[in-house]
Amino acid sequence: MQPLDEEQMRGVAKLVFANKQDLPRAMSVSDITDGLGLSGVSQPWSVQASCAVSGAGLVEGLDWLSDRILNRRT
């Protein structure tokens, strides 16, 4: 399997789960956004605060991604 190149990824929505938000030392969503340089990304993106243990944020993130996929098909 080969990694996707920039051409294949152009226009593809990016979803990042900011996991472990239940922990006091977790990076904030804005710190993750800045660290990944997402402000300069032209395609749709979202950083969703989440906690895998409780499931918090998972539905919201997947709903966002689903909306982007459905809108791309129309």
The pLDDT, as a whole number, for residue 40 is: 86
Torsion of CA 46, 47, 49, 51, to 10 degrees: 100
The residue extents of the domains of the chain are: 14-73
* 41-68 residues labelled b (16+ CB within 10 A) or e (exposed): eeebbbbbbbbeeeeebeeebeebbeeb
| Residue 22 marked in a binding site | yes
The pLDDT, as a whole number, for residue 41 is: 84
The pLDDT, as a whole number, for residue 60 is: 98
| Residue 21 marked in a binding site | yes
| Residue 2 marked in a binding site | no
Name the nearest CA neighbour of 18 among 41, 45, 44, 43.
45
The pLDDT, as a whole number, for residue 3 is: 53
Q: Which residues of the chain have pLDDT under 70?
A: 1-6, 73-74
| Residue 14 marked in a binding site | no
The pLDDT, as a whole number, for residue 4 is: 54
